Amino acid sequence: MTDAAELRERTRELLAAHPPATIGRRDFLEARFDAGLAWVHYPEGLGGLGAPRSLQAVVDAELEAAGAPDNDPRRIGIGLGMAAPTILRFGTDEQKRRYLRPLWVGEEVWCQLFSEPGAGSDLAALGTRAVRDDGGDWVVNGQKVWTSSAHVARWAILIARTDPDMPKHQGITYFICDMTDPGVEVRPLRQVTGEAEFNEVFLTGVRIPDSRRLGEIGDGWRVAQTTLMNERVSIGGMRIPREGGMIGALARTWRERPELRTHDLHQRLLTLWVEAEVARLTGERLRQQLSAGQPGPEGSGMKLAFARLNQEISGMEVELLGEEGLVYDDWTMRRPELVDFTGREAGYRYLRSKGNSIEGGTSEVLLNIVAERVLGLPAEPRTDKDVAWKDLSR
């Protein structure tokens, strides 16, 4: 079994054979993937060595100390955190070989075609249809919304209804959609910040070969649960250094502007600092638990904490700065690839954080998940679970 010492040796061999200072970034990342040091818990040949997930930190530390480039995980977060685990669990051998390597090295960006105008919190009510033609391909028609990175993505993970005669959680199938195919139209959604990092996507007669189906026909909801559980962990369980992220920006302002301090604000800052540190340590524990298997509903609790803290911290920063906190540099519509929380003004952080309780699962839905699946409380009565989707009122 691979241990920490062996991983250190493998990492040093990689660095010796492919010195980061003299080799291109893409070449180094591809060599790292091929050496099984991309995500060590993945199988051999797919960027891993079948090692415990917890040993990834050993590899990362060695590479960071050597100044090796990373794969820009924020830019390709949807691929890394959502598409890859789903492909690994449900994909065919051919799909794993085709998609995982270019995904990890950042050659291909992914997006997520799940939410719809009438199926956001109640995702299982989705109405995008996929109908199989005589040749075995699928023809997809519908609309998706709140799609991060769709304007830069090559591939998308997509769920569509393939059997409207089944109840809404059934009759759904999971696909991989080529965002460059005819019939895929991406339109920007301008946010309160002026940015348009989200999109709405229209699918009109988009043809998807059956070879790009993940899982069995009609089993898309179960496949999607893997994506959603990993999504909440990737958002709520991001590795953040001590006093990093939002709380770091607030603490920096506090230290640099002593004339703004009051006793009341000091007490609130201390409370938020402690809560941010508790959330950070809880995230570390959650990542340790992942070494035992797939993420569970506990990730929903972390995502809840992440959203609430970001909003409270950014709100306090605006209050601390007073009129300065309301200044915002530019309302011109921008199409960023990344959300920059810490490199912008306090006013930007305050406005952007409002989306944290909506994106990646609304806080209201996540509270139900925690109540039912973590605390074991009775589920809310639901009268539509056994009704055919086509018979539901919309």
DSSP secondary structure string for all residues of 226-256: HHHHHHHHHHHT----TT-HHHHHHHHHHHH
Contact (Cβ atoms closer than 8 angstroms) between residue 315 and residue 269: no
Q: Residues 6 or more apart from 71 whose CB is under 8 A from it?
A: 29, 38, 80, 104, 105, 106
- The three-state secondary structure class of 67 is coil
Q: Please, are residues 173 and 220 in contact by the beta-carbon 8 Å criterion?
A: yes
- Which residue's structure tokens are 């301008």? 190
CA distance 5 to 17: 19
- Nearest Cα to 111, choosing from 222, 200, 218, 232? 200
Q: CA angle, corner 320, sides to 317 and 326, nearest 5? A: 70
CA 71 – CA 332 distance, rounded (Å): 30
Q: Which amino acid is at 191?
A: Q
Rounded to the nearest 5 percent, the helix, strand and coil shares of the chain are 45, 15, 40
Catalytic residue among 231, 298, 312, 345: 231
Q: Which amino acid, 152?
A: V
Residues 6+ apart with CB under 8 A from 146: 115, 120, 189, 198, 199, 200, 358, 359
Gap between the Cα atoms of 147 and 116, Å rounded: 9
φ, ψ of residue 219 to 5 degrees: the values are -105, 20
Q: Could you confirm whether 231 is annotated as catalytic? A: yes
Q: What residue type is assigned to position 26 of the chain?
A: R
Run of H or E including 129: strand 129-132
Query: Catalytic residue numbers?
Result: 231
